[in-house]
Chains A and B, each alone.
Chain A
């Protein structure tokens, strides 16, 4: 653990020990229905913040996790917008009824993707905004201006939207949480019930900003 991080962790522990009754900053979360993902995010996707889901290998279960999120939000009576940069979403994999709350935006370019994401992130009707930039050129993604990310972050904060960016590599500099799906699915996953498959998913938390519950533990987890 770097010395600076150690000092911050010890300082936070000291403050929490001195003032145990101090109100922690409460954050609304959106459960995904994937036990491993919810556990590492502290209950679910943080509302009003950016979360980056990185699919490190082609078949790590990231898309199935998003399918589970669609089902969970449908049950929780929330609206979801999916901004699909490459048009990779397959609605035939899910029931029509599960998708009744979804607004799918199929974009033709990265510029249209950011414009669409900016619009839906500002609309408080959506509890979750999924931005899928997988399949796009990494070079093109890395050329995205910082202002785009900051603007997206501000929009999500103001509307209280859980904003998720699904990517193939680390591209979001200001993500509040970053989760990496780096374990490939087993060969028998194709015949496995999806519920069991989701239980078996074990993504790794790479970053979680300390403004969320369990601050000291988060820092420790991130540092380790």
Chain B
């Protein structure tokens, strides 16, 4: 059995995936240049309640690569799929289309968007079978031989996955790729051909993709449907039309079987988009990146591990670029988590000029194989932990978030902030003597103070922190360091009591300061 997954009005669907605001507007794709420009695909005429492709203006059947003679456009779909109401139809010029529907939004095809949608389609199809052929833009054929028979749920799930990514798919299942493709055109949204003869008989002869001469000849003979062709003796048709007649007969009976050409697995997981107009605000960027993350997460997830690293590059209008790599705490195939990492970064980013293009590459990685210590302090949600750290860095500054550690210096208040660790080992027994005294609450910077001395000892304090008579509790502690450098320091600390508070008084060459409160 074969399945064909078809995205009706593919260029329009691919484009609207990145411009959801236009989904409820009458839209059409204008292909060609200059005076030859014409409407090629028409979206829902502003009905608003149908998904893109749900009411195609005219169903353009993607050509089977080895069935259709080259140099001929795609064939029209069956009559039932045509847009019956008067309005914009494919082939109209821009002026004609706008005359019929003044509110029509004429859009240029977007190769970037179509490439993205195609990649997403292939990724989704590989969930059914490893043998997937990229038959045409917006259409792929899947060889279901040897796969599980309970496919109904798989197809529903596949359509739901594509629907979540903004694509409306039709699925046809048949004994040959050709029959499956015809079934996909008739499907709404799924159609499995059980009786091939009964299904094919009423179809118009044009769907056999004959050459114009053949079509004219068959019409002259009164053969307008598949059934009328297969009613003839096969040998007579071969005598009249030669090998080509034999081939058309085989197609009309559903016997024609061609080998699939499996699409190669992507070697790089890359998503690119160039904006028509430079982007100055964040929302369009985030929306595009969200779509990219959906596809890249699905692609790398199929490899079994997920994404371990992301590389983002923004192209700016002044021809400069902004590049940033994101190392993820652990590989993930969750689009939300990938997106959260990028969103956190972009929310704090200001560029000198508008963005004209962006590229996102995902690097697949194997899942971490590590044995955590039984008594280690781990994380219940590592991606969230590091995403939160990223957001905190955006709020407070990256230099103000981290795990404190004493710096390798004798300078008071010397510390460094390390990136928080995913795993914290078990608490070791203290090597140093038990600590004495309360902890110090430091004033950063220290509060300047006026100190009155009596017999070279502080006796009265006036400062924003405390004011009053001083009781000296401990003798001054003198220290100095870095005397060999320009950053030399020397200080004298007094532990004092003023009122109910215990303070550390600091005497440096600049004067007196209250360094903190013992609390």
A→B interface (CB under 8 Å): 55, 57-64, 66-67, 74-75, 77-79, 86-108, 112, 115-116, 119-120, 122-125, 134-135, 184-185, 187, 189-195, 197
Contact = CB atoms under 8 A, between A and B. Distances in A.
Given A67-B439, A77-B424, A96-B406, 10 more contacts: A60-B519, A63-B519, A92-B412, A100-B421, A103-B420, A119-B391, A119-B392, A123-B381, A123-B384, A190-B495
B473 interface: yes
Size bin of chain B's contact surface = 35 or more
A93 B440 contact: yes
A167 B517 CA distance: 14
B439 A97 contact: no
B473 to A, nearest CB: 6
A95 B404 CA distance: 10
Interface in B385-427: 385, 388-389, 391-392, 395-397, 400-406, 412-415, 417, 420-421, 424-427
B474 interface: yes
Contacts of A57: 500-501
20 contacts: A58-B465, A58-B466, A58-B499, A58-B519, A59-B518, A64-B519, A77-B375, A90-B413, A92-B413, A101-B403, A101-B424, A108-B400, A119-B388, A120-B388, A122-B388, A135-B441, A190-B438, A191-B436, A191-B437, A197-B438
A189 B400 contact: no
Contact of A194 (B425, B437, B443): B437
A46 to B, nearest CB: 20
A95 B436 CA distance: 13
A60 B500 CA distance: 9
B435 A124 contact: no
Contact of A91 (B397, B401, B415): B415
Nearest to B516: A90
A55 B518 CA distance: 12
Contact of A187 (B376, B382, B473): B473
Contacts of B379: 79, 125
Q: What are the 5 closest A-B residue pairs judged by CB atoms, nearest first?
A: A58-B501, A91-B404, A63-B519, A184-B500, A106-B400
Contacts of B467: none
B443 A88 contact: yes
Interface string B492-509: 000101011111000000
By CB atoms of chain B within 10 A, which of A96, A104, A194 has the most?
A104
Q: Tell me whether chain A's interface is mostly helix, strand or loop, or mixed.
A: mixed
A189 B502 contact: yes
Contacts of B412: 92
Contact of A192 (B405, B430, B436, B444): B436
Contacts of A94: 435, 439
A59 B392 contact: no
By CB atoms of chain A within 10 A, which of B377, B402, B421, B501 has the most?
B377
Contact of A59 (B425, B434, B438, B443): B438
By CB atoms of chain A within 10 A, which of B437, B441, B497 has the most?
B441
Given A77-B375, A191-B437, A59 B519 contact: yes
A122 B430 CA distance: 33
By CB atoms of chain A within 10 A, which of B381, B388, B402, B443 has the most?
B388
B371 interface: no
A171 B445 CA distance: 25
B302 interface: no
Interface in B456-489: 465-466, 471, 473-474
Given A55-B519, A115-B395, A95 B430 contact: yes
B491 interface: no
A56 to B, nearest CB: 9
A100 B437 CA distance: 22
Contacts of A59: 438, 500-502, 517-519
Contacts of A97: 427-428, 430
Contacts of A90: 413, 439-442, 516
Contacts of B466: 58
Nearest to A55: B519
B437 A190 contact: yes
B95 interface: no
B377 A77 contact: yes
B395 A62 contact: no
B331 to A, nearest CB: 19
Given A90-B441, A119-B388, A195 B417 contact: no
A74 B499 CA distance: 35
A88 B517 CA distance: 9
Nearest to B401: A105
A60 to B, nearest CB: 7
B380 interface: yes
A93 B384 contact: no
Given A93-B440, A119-B388, A194-B434, A105 B396 contact: yes
A4 B517 CA distance: 42
B150 interface: no
A108 B396 CA distance: 7
B384 to A, nearest CB: 6
